[in-house]
Structure 1
């Protein structure tokens, strides 16, 4: 049954690589380019998953408990995670699938991410993690804390997302020049044709739904998750303890292999070595990701895609602060240096 995690991961890695489902770029573009399409795509994936998973719960396939809301750890951890993904050049899932493309900077970020996640969960920072998570509200469920049925929250989300999609699809299409296709049929569709982000989002949402019953069948009652499985891989490599191997580990390994298949098929795979500065920055970003995601109880997938779909405060607060962290880092990494260059150029011209 654990192999179903590998299959699910391969599908997710393939879809995310071909659809360029990059949440780091999406959150950054919201601030820098005023382009919200990838954020809208995320909302579509959340909505599809929410409808599907709560339908499965309704029919008794598995149970879900939202637990308590460790609000302080979620806010601080998510903000730090948002900063980390800018330095790392990709979020947790994005780092896995970009590593499958041969981007060695992502391998460096991935090691930092796995290392710090393991340190936070079972290493010397575990007391910090547990003490901050102890500051919590009794319920994490939006429905339980407000008395409003979950179906109302889902219906509201469906209405908002449907309205957004309708308005976006009514906008004039921008024709992007492309090379003459080399393939035809299914091969062209899978490996050559540009995928619309909304189509990719629907596929990600469907895979996220499928992940729940497959994972629950192995005793892991959760959907897509990246942080704990990533830490488990490193912990298994160090200790050899088979208890660290579960459905989630096969999932993240599958993301890597799925991305590799997609990248090879679309002729996008190649090893790319970063310069020293980029390598150091990637490693720092990976460590920030590992620290933040562990503290927050999830990354942009575990919290931003899954826990949002489950209508929890943790999910929606985490998504908000991941975005704010991404915007903060984007200002200092991309915006401020350009402003300084313009000021220096203006000053130089004035003195001349």
Structure 2
């Protein structure tokens, strides 16, 4: 039964992609195909930021933590390269350089507590909803409500925090020292996550 459903969904997805291609809407076809591929990969890998920390602390399982660390390391290297190329060509560094302050600590605590109470992060919530877990529909509703409230209050908080000190490591200590610090941090993290607990 499950195999028939999977084949039916695959056929439906192919029809949608072919429809976009027939209408020469290549961008939508590519985005739709990438979305399906991403959803499948996340569903099969059980990827979740919350479980990366939960499994490490509660079950001493480092597999997801290693995956998240590698993901962040690759992302950091990519952003570093993009910003370095922009600055070396005399442009403003791309990306949003945010202020650092007490708001990060409070936001991190609220976000972390929310993930623990919800039983997962946003990605794993979407996967569980797609798999038919009823409990996660309530979690998804909470994410939507929180996002809408956050969007309405963003201007107020932005005005308060805009005067806080901005933190951009290459602008403070330079590019090469920043690269060394990144490399050391990720090396030590991955080394620690490979050792037995």
CA gap 1:134/1:50 in 2 versus in 1, 3 angstroms = closer
Is the 1:13–1:97 Cα contact (8 Å) retained in structure 2?
yes
Which residue is 2:187 aligned to?
Answer: 159
CA gap 1:162/1:78 in 2 versus in 1, 3 angstroms = closer
Higher helix share: 2
Two-structure CA RMSD over aligned residues (Å): 3.0
Which among 110, 135, 139 is matched to residue 109 of structure 1?
A: 139
Q: Give the distance between the partners of 2:179 and 2:118, measured in 1 at CA.
A: 37
Which residue is 2:172 aligned to?
Answer: 145
Q: Give the distance between the partners of 1:10 and 1:133, measured in 2 at CA.
A: 38
State the 1:51 CA deviation.
2.4
CA gap 1:41/1:128 in 2 versus in 1, 3 angstroms = same
Structure 2 unaligned regions, length at least 5? 1-26
Structure 1 unaligned regions, length at least 5? 172-352
- Scaled by the length of structure 1, what TM-score is found? 0.40
State the 1:68 CA deviation.
3.2
State the 1:109 CA deviation.
0.8
CA offsets per residue over residues 261-280 of structure 1, 9 Å max, x none?
Answer: xxxxxxxxxxxxxxxxxxxx
State the 1:94 CA deviation.
1.5
Is the 2:55–2:61 Cα contact (8 Å) retained in structure 1?
yes
- Scaled by the length of structure 2, what TM-score is found? 0.67
Structure 2 residue 103 is matched with structure 1 residue 76: no
Which among 30, 34, 49 is matched to residue 23 of structure 1?
A: 49
The more displaced of 103-112 and 65-74 is 65-74
Q: Secondary structure in 2 aligned to 1:15? A: helix
CA offsets per residue over residues 235-279 of structure 1, 9 Å max, x none?
Answer: xxxxxxxxxxxxxxxxxxxxxxxxxxxxxxxxxxxxxxxxxxxxx
State the 1:32 CA deviation.
1.9
Alignment size in residue pairs: 164
CA offsets per residue over residues 291-335 of structure 1, 9 Å max, x none?
Answer: xxxxxxxxxxxxxxxxxxxxxxxxxxxxxxxxxxxxxxxxxxxxx
Is the 2:49–2:120 Cα contact (8 Å) retained in structure 1?
yes
Greater relative CO, 1 or 2 (CA 8 Å, sep 6+): 1
CA offsets per residue over residues 140-159 of structure 1, 9 Å max, x none?
Answer: 21222344633223322453
Structure 2 residue 125 is matched with structure 1 residue 95: yes
Which among 143, 146, 158 is matched to residue 130 of structure 1?
A: 158
Q: Give the distance between the partners of 1:29 and 1:57, measured in 2 at CA.
A: 34
CA gap 1:31/1:152 in 2 versus in 1, 3 angstroms = same
CA offsets per residue over residues 3-43 of structure 1, 9 Å max, x none?
Answer: 65544433332222111112222212222223333222211
Is the 2:99–2:162 Cα contact (8 Å) retained in structure 1?
no
